[in-house]
Amino acid sequence: MNPKNHEEHIRHSFDSYCKKILKNKTLDLQRRTKWQREREISFSELTAQELAELSVTDKYSYEYDFTVLGESVGITNADLADALNELPQELRDIILMSYFFDMTDKEIAEHLHMARRTVAYQRVNTLKKLKNLMKDEDL
């Protein structure tokens, strides 16, 4: 057998092998996709009731509860809860909305009917006040 023909035969064999592998891999992926389509459903396709049946909500007992926007905010740290209790209601609400509800200053301002800059100023000053109150409690 001619060495050149032998190399060409090996090249064609390898080419054929690669094509078979790619074809079989494609068929496997198509079968798997079909299987998933028949048996699985996307969460976005579920109704609210079906989602509720599948979900679990953890309930934790908190020593201290604060109410903001009709929602309960639980605090387990006694020092933080005591410091928050010493703040006026409006300042406490700004801190809780900012850090527990991830609201922006603009969103807080809209809820409290204030200017955004006023909310930002009060939030920064209240944080300083909380820091000092918690330092005093540690002493």
> What does the alpha-carbon distance between residue 37 and residue 31 come to, in Å, rounded to a whole number?
10
List the CATH code of the domain at 74-138: 1.10.10.10
Average pLDDT for 115-123: 95
Global pTM value? 0.56
pLDDT digits 0-9 by tens, 27-62: 999 999 999 988 888 888 888 888 888 888 777 767
Helices 116-138, 105-112: inter-axial angle, 10-degree rounding: 100
Q: Identify the helix (H) or strand (E) that includes residue 38.
A: helix 3-39
Instruction: Delimit the domains of the chain by residue range.
Output: 1-37, 74-138
Beta strands in 1-139 (DSSP E): 64-68, 71-75
| Cα radius of gyration (the chain) | 32
Find, among 50, 47, 102, the residue nearest to 71 by Cα. 102
